[in-house]
Structure 1
Amino acid sequence: MASKPLSRFWEWGRNIICVGRNYAKHAQEMGSALPREPLFFLKPSSAYVREGSAILRPYYCSNLHHEVELGVVIGKRAQAVSQEAAMEHVAGYALCLDMTARDTQEECKKKGLPWTLAKGFSSSCPISDFVPKEKIPDPHKLKIWLKVNGKLRQEGETSSMIFSIPYLISYISEIVTLEEGDLILTGSPEGVGSVEANDEIEAGISDILSMRFKVAQQIRRS
């Protein structure tokens, strides 16, 4: 593992840990109470999709939502680390989308089921290029934004996170041991909404980077 380039962590990283409701206004727009401790769930590594490939709306989904998020890439193993030491385990950052089958998620909530169908489908984690941490001295002073077909939908400051990155790393690493190449999605600002087949999503981190993805409809084969 250690010999593999972190610049292509999505090809060999194992865990995608997603933090929910980490921006107050997003929690409010979803009708959710503010969390007292981090809420997180997992996506499989097959959720990764890179520019040049499409985001597929699952055949069972009729309401696919975008959620733009700052991703934190782990650079060395973290198990029950303190907040003070947490940033020593960060290799860099990436821009991510937490694509969500919102109608499916609502059904899962009603039935008390896991969110895997809603959050873990193939192409549910579009990812940008890797950004070494040296290029982002303070990840809590960034603007993340998202447009659909050229219209601004989401724009938020990472300073508005409820739980900071060191807190998230410390909290998660007490429950799930973080390995080199793992990715933490740190939550989405308000403005999430639906996308349809043939829509184009553009998203970015301040003026550091941007990425574009087309949305396509998955065709059921059986």
Structure 2
Amino acid sequence: MKVIAVGMNYAAHNKELDHTLELAEPTIFMKSDSSLLKDGKPFFIPDFSEEIHYETEIVVRIDRLGKNIAERFAHRYYNEVTVGIDFTARDLQRKLRSQGLPWEISKAFDNSAVTGTFMPLEQLGKVDNLSFHLDINGQKVQEGNTGDMLFSVDKIVAYVSRFFTLKIGDLIYTGTPVGVGPVHIDDHLQGYIGQHKLLDFFVR
């Protein structure tokens, strides 16, 4: 299975990190299968970074084999979503970007892709109008709505399928809104879509 992620998909977040606000196509990067962290297991801060940031995202699970999918048919290829965390070694990412080097190791390291419990969209609402947020230690630190994405879920699915065959079980992290920040040992992270708590784990 593949873990596909979309960068810079919310304008306010792009401004927050001094990225461009003008994008013609989705920005795609990959995480490895060992990036996955699920079932409420703790996230251990790695020893190669002093600045691990949370990035809260809606995660879509592909449930049908597809290649070169037309956008108008993209909705047929998924029916469950959850909230997840794209952990980023921000200090390492900045260093690599400043040198013009690839920055996968700052994004795709082990356990950097946290996933919550998947729920059918029929229980949550339309995929293009999902409100989600992250609480740390009981305080809301980040929130967003998929209606604010620069590229919709269907556009992302169609675009990605031009380059990669989508297979059952593949995950797509759809981008993070404004409000990213650092995590620390003993932080308690809880992620929600609407009032549904789908993510609950600790940082160690």
Equivalences for 1:124-139 in 2 at 5 Å?
A: 124-139=112-127
Q: Counterparts of 2:79 and 2:196 in 1: how far apart (Å)?
A: 17
* Residue 116 (structure 1) shift: 2.1
Structure 1 unaligned regions, length at least 5:
1-13, 217-222
CA-to-aligned-CA distance 1:9-42 (integer Å, 9 cap, x gap): xxxxx10100011111001101001222100100
Q: Establish whether residue 32 from structure 1 lines up as the match of residue 19 from structure 2.
A: yes
Q: What is aligned with 1:211?
A: 199
> What do the CA deviations read for 1:86-115 (whole angstroms, capped 9, x no partner)?
111113112111000000111111222222
In the TM superposition, residue 208 of structure 1 has moved relative to its aligned partner by 2.6
Asked if 1:103 is matched to 2:94, the reply is no
**Match for residue 7 of structure 1?**
none
Gaps of 5+ in 2: none
Question: Using the alignment, how far apart are the partners of 2:193 and 2:96 within structure 1?
Answer: 32
Q: Is 1:21–2:8 an aligned residue pair?
A: yes
Counterpart pick for 1:161 among 137, 149, 170: 149
Which residue of structure 1 lines up, in the alignment, with residue 46 of structure 2? 58
CA distance in 2, matches of 1:108, 1:195: 21
Q: Which amino acid aligns with 2:50?
A: S
After TM superposition, what 4+ stretches of structure 1 lie above 4 angstroms from structure 2? none
TM-score, length of structure 2 as denominator length: 0.95
Instruction: Provide the rounded CA distance (Å) in 1 between the counterparts of 2:94 and 2:129.
Output: 33
Structure 1 position 150, deviation (Å): 1.7
1:83 equivalent among 67, 71, 74: 71
Structure 1 length-normalised TM:
0.88
User: Residues 35-68 of structure 1: CA distance to partner in whole angstroms, max 9, x if unpaired?
Assistant: 2210010001111112442112111100000000
Match runs of 1:124-203 below 5 Å? 124-203=112-191
Q: Which amino acid aligns with 1:22?
A: N
- Equivalent of 1:116 in 104, 122, 144: 104
Counterpart of 1:10 in structure 2 is none
The one-letter code sitting in structure 2 at the alignment partner of 1:95 is: V
- Supply the distance in 2 between the matched residues of 1:173 and 1:210 (Cα, whole angstroms): 27
Task: Check whether the contact 1:143–1:157 (CA below 8 A) recurs between aligned residues.
Answer: yes
| Equivalent position SS for 2:74 | helix
Q: Distance in 1 between matches of 2:40 and 2:119?
A: 19
Percentage of pairs with the same residue: 33
Does 170-179 or 106-115 show the bigger shift?
106-115
How many Å apart are 1:207 and its aligned residue? Answer: 1.4
Q: What is the aligned-residue RMSD (CA, Å)?
A: 1.2
Q: Tell me, in whole angstroms, the C-alpha distance in 2 between the residues paired with 1:52 and 1:95.
A: 12
Q: Tell me the matched-pair count.
A: 203
Structure 2 contact 57–85 (Cα < 8 Å) conserved = yes
Distance in 2, Cα, partners of 1:139 & 1:69? 13
2: CA distance between counterparts of 1:88 and 1:151? 36
SS at match of 1:210: strand
Distance 1:105 1:49 in 2: 21
